[in-house]
Amino acid sequence: MDKFSKISSTKVSELPAMVTDKNKVKLEALKVGINSLIDNFLTLRYYGSAGRNIMENTVKIGGKELFIEALIDFMNDKSIEDQIKTLESLKANTRDWQVIDNKINELFNSIDDNKKFNENKKQIAKIKTLLDTYGDDDRFQQILENLVQKSNNSNDALLMSETANKMKTNFKYLNYSKKHLTMISEKYNQKSKELSFKENGFNR
């Protein structure tokens, strides 16, 4: 850039520094590291009459991605449990138990929320498919509208709304647009309210 500006006598601005999300980088590095451990330490064992030379080029370790996601969830829950243990140990050194108990209750609620959220596999998969397929499409909003209109149950629509909202703050889904997740959450929440009115015999 400096060389070009001297030759042309034109001031060339510096390229903007790339902005990266440290949490995203750490998460991706963790996934790559776990994946590498699987490849390096897990092996396939062959039993029966199938020839090794026939199988070795076609057989791979299946379910690695699911295993990595499950392991990260486990590690996250263990981290919260470690925080709870640390807080419990503080009770021996302080009289202000109420503050500590309140924080412990918050952490327990966080564990429960994570477990409930992870049970919404169908909703998570549906949202991920929508974003993976149409996230960069100019027609995203219209495609979302069409999808939302297919909802015919207020509870199902509300669950989609809540799941999309939780995905915004879940570290596993940091690579998805918060703007799009907010849009999904709001559209399904609105649809849930409309369906609730109809289900209860009210006309808006």
The 3-class SS string of 83-113 reads HHHHHHHHCCCCCCHHHHHHHHHHHHHHHHH
Considering the chain, what percentage of its residues have pLDDT values greater than 90? 33
46's tokens:
């062959």
Extents of the domains making up the chain = 20-61, 121-199
Which tens digit of pLDDT belongs to each residue from 37-67?
677 666 666 555 555 555 555 556 667 677 7
Q: What distance in Å separates the CA atoms of residue 171 and residue 26, rounded to the nearest whole number?
A: 10
Residue 145 backbone class (left: φ over 0; alpha: ψ -120 to 50; beta: rest): alpha
- Quick count: other Cβ atoms within 10 Å of Cβ 30? 15
CB-CB contact of 104 with 142 (8 Å)? no
Q: What distance in Å separates the CA atoms of residue 25 and residue 174, rounded to the nearest whole number?
A: 10
What is the pLDDT averaged over residues 14-33? 63
- Provide the 8-state DSSP code for 55: H
Instruction: Note the pLDDT of residue 17.
Output: 47
Residue 63 backbone class (left: φ over 0; alpha: ψ -120 to 50; beta: rest): left
What is this structure's pTM? Answer: 0.53
Instruction: Note the pLDDT of residue 29.
Output: 74
Which tens digit of pLDDT belongs to each residue from 67-104?
767 767 766 777 777 777 777 777 766 666 777 777 77
Secondary structure string (H, E, C) spanning 167-181: HCCCHHHCCCCHHHH
Nearby residues of 176 by Cβ (< 8 Å), 6 or more positions away:
128, 131, 135, 167
Would the pLDDT of 144 be above 60?
yes
Residue 86 to residues 54, 82, 104, 180, Cα–Cα distance (Å):
53, 6, 10, 38
What is the pLDDT averaged over residues 119-130? 92
Would the pLDDT of 18 be above 50?
no
CB-CB contact of 184 with 165 (8 Å)? no
Which tens digit of pLDDT belongs to each residue from 185-195?
999 999 999 99
